[in-house]
Structure 1
Amino acid sequence: MSEEPPFRPREKLLEKQKRFQSIQKHTYLKGPFDKVTSVAIPAALAATSIYLIARGIYNMSHGVGKKE
């Protein structure tokens, strides 16, 4: 059985490990665009769902938007 070569050189791996271990942020916010994917997108989804729920409750309570 032959051993597979690594995908990335060991030196590069150690360099990236040191970089990520030295950052004092949360694990899921360490990349450059992680704030967009883990904060902005869920916040936008929550805001739109709250808006749609509130609009539905308003329409039901006032009888607006009924199909005849």
Structure 2
Amino acid sequence: MSDLEPPFRPREKIVEKQKYFQNIPKHTYLKGRFDKVTSVAIPAALAATSLFLIGRGIYNMSLGIGKKD
């Protein structure tokens, strides 16, 4: 095995990224640049939308709105 593949990234870049991510005092899943959007904002928006739709459904059922005859 004399012909080894070259690495995808230079070793210096990997070490630099490792130092950056290991020294951030945040949770592991919030260390990237856009991680707040994907792990906080999107689930919060989905939860708010589902709670609104559930509330609207309960309101409509209690008043008999939208019944099919």
TM-score by length of 2: 0.90
> In structure 2, what residue type is equivalent to 1:13?
I
- The runs of 4+ residues in structure 1 deviating greater than 2 Å are none
Structure 1 gaps, min length 5: none
* 1:3 has 2:4 as partner: yes
Partner residue in 2 for 1:48: 49
Q: Using the aligned pairs only, state the percent identity.
A: 79
* 1:31 has 2:16 as partner: no
Q: Deviations over 1:36-58 (max 9, x none)?
A: 11101100000000010111111
CA distance in 2, matches of 1:4, 1:32: 30
Count how many residue pairs are aligned between Structure 1 and Structure 2: 68
Structure 2 gaps, min length 5: none
Partner SS for 1:65: coil
CA distance in 1, matches of 2:34, 2:12: 25
Partner residue in 2 for 1:19: 20
> In structure 1, what residue type is equivalent to 2:61?
M
